[in-house]
Structure 1
Amino acid sequence: MPGDECSERLLFGGAISSAFPMRFQDLSSIREVPDHQEVFADSSRDESLFFELLDLKNDVSDSESAIWFLQDLANEQDAKGSLVIEQSGSLQPADLMFKDLPAVITTVVGRMAVSKGRQGREAQNVVRVYLANLRLKAVGTDVLIIAYEPILINALSETSLTVGAGLAVPAAQSELLPVSEVFKFAIVSFKVNDWNLFGVVDHTP
């Protein structure tokens, strides 16, 4: 969409990069973000984008990993009972590999009811959640890329004060890139610039 082009952003001190719209601002300048996460948000639309590095879950199968992480996320956010899986898929890119071992990427899209911060269930918003799991097995790491898109804002939610209550306005109506496309761009543009981030030494020229 015009005016909402994706730009390369440096993550984790430049060791990783990914491209997404500049309207997603780095939240580390506003609040504390854990070292294993990078969090960006367009607060005017309550849309957000997370990058997270986790130890590889060896007991979770590749084909089920994205769904497993989404269910785990729903449980963490007390939204497990409201989780609906809309679709899932997988791909294996040739250009994201270390020591000839390519990444395996699975994706899932779900819908759940979540509340902001410490607000209770009576203030839950309905959101669409896009989750990709990039399995970097050569370095024992599960990378999560998670995007949140509001569907329905609860009038009791603190979000309603900035975004407004009711059905969320589709991004396309505001000439903005839909979260589904932001999510895809973030995945296909994902690059590891320095494998030393994972505690390994890359001797490739």
Structure 2
Amino acid sequence: MPEEACVERLLYGGALSMTFPLRLQDLSNVRQVPDHQEAFADPSRDESLIIELLDLKHDVADEASAVWFLEDLAKEQDAEGGMLIEQSGVLEAPRLCYRSMPAVVTSAVGQMAISKGRQGIEAQNIVRVYLANLRLKEVGTDVLIVAYEPVVINPLSESASSVGAGVVAPAEQSGYMPMAEVFKLSVSTFKVHDWNLFNA
């Protein structure tokens, strides 16, 4: 199987970077993306990768943070029947240090029914959601890296026209890196080049 081309992408004006496949295109070229987010998508597979910078949630425990954010995301998207598939323990990211304080990383994987854009409940797709929370406590920031991978596309979803309705074929069959791998690669290559982004 051909290796999929992955490149280091500069985020937030070059202050951060991560490596992931070229097929994920910058959504800010297509639509408005909020300033605290960077969003990339492969429209042919309806897969997306979102990076979000949020104020640190001091009242959420480190070991529970990824699951907390995953549940929060489900509420925000009016997702139905969310289920947690797995969660990691707390890992330190020694390469991601500010003033010798390493970031704390947790991750969670869930599956939920989500409607696209402004579509209603009758057009929900079954989507696997991979979420990592990188807690940069010294600069008061929770970084979220979220990957969305559709498992089943509803015939009424607007995604059906580009991806096709029904069970989505695994990425490997098309010679693509599966979103679980894209997610791991993105998280493991996350770098901060300029801490001033966080007003540090």
TM-score, normalized by the shorter chain, greater than 0.5: yes
Q: Which amino acid is the alignment partner of residue 85 of structure 1?
A: L
- The range that moved more, 89-98 or 161-170, is 89-98
Deviations 1:66-99 (A, max 9, x none): 00000000000001x4110000003212110101
Deviations 1:24-61 (A, max 9, x none): 00000100000000000000000000000000000000
How many Å separate the matches in 2 of 1:137 and 1:2? 40
Offset of 1:5 from its aligned partner?
Answer: 2.6
1:137 maps to what in 2? 137
Offset of 1:171 from its aligned partner?
Answer: 0.3
Kindly tell me the number of residue pairs found equivalent between the two proteins: 199
Alignment of 1:67-106 (within 5 A): 67-79=67-79, 81-89=80-88, 90-106=90-106
How many Å separate the matches in 2 of 1:59 and 1:92? 19
How many Å separate the matches in 1 of 2:164 and 2:8? 31
Contact 1:94 1:102 (C-alpha < 8 Å) held by counterparts? yes
Offset of 1:6 from its aligned partner?
Answer: 1.7
1:178 maps to what in 2? 178
How many Å separate the matches in 2 of 1:23 and 1:173? 15
1:203 maps to what in 2? none
Contact 1:115 1:121 (C-alpha < 8 Å) held by counterparts? yes
2:66 maps to what in 1? 66
Offset of 1:198 from its aligned partner?
Answer: 0.4
1:149 maps to what in 2? 149
How many Å separate the matches in 2 of 1:151 and 1:45? 10
Q: Unaligned regions of 5+ residues in structure 1, if any?
A: 201-205
2:14 maps to what in 1? 14
How many Å separate the matches in 2 of 1:29 and 1:118? 20
Runs of 4+ deviating beyond 4 Å: none
Q: Which amino acid is the alignment partner of residue 190 of structure 2?
A: F
Contact 1:6 1:185 (C-alpha < 8 Å) held by counterparts? no
How many Å separate the matches in 2 of 1:182 and 1:41? 12
Percent identity of the aligned residues? 62
SS at match of 2:58: coil
Q: Which amino acid is the alignment partner of residue 82 of structure 2?
A: L
How many Å separate the matches in 1 of 2:81 and 2:65? 20
How many Å separate the matches in 1 of 2:102 and 2:28? 31
1:34 maps to what in 2? 34
Offset of 1:3 from its aligned partner?
Answer: 4.2
Matched, 1:111 2:111: yes
SS at match of 1:92: strand
1:53 maps to what in 2? 53
TM-score by length of 2: 0.98
1:25 maps to what in 2? 25
TM-score by length of 1: 0.96
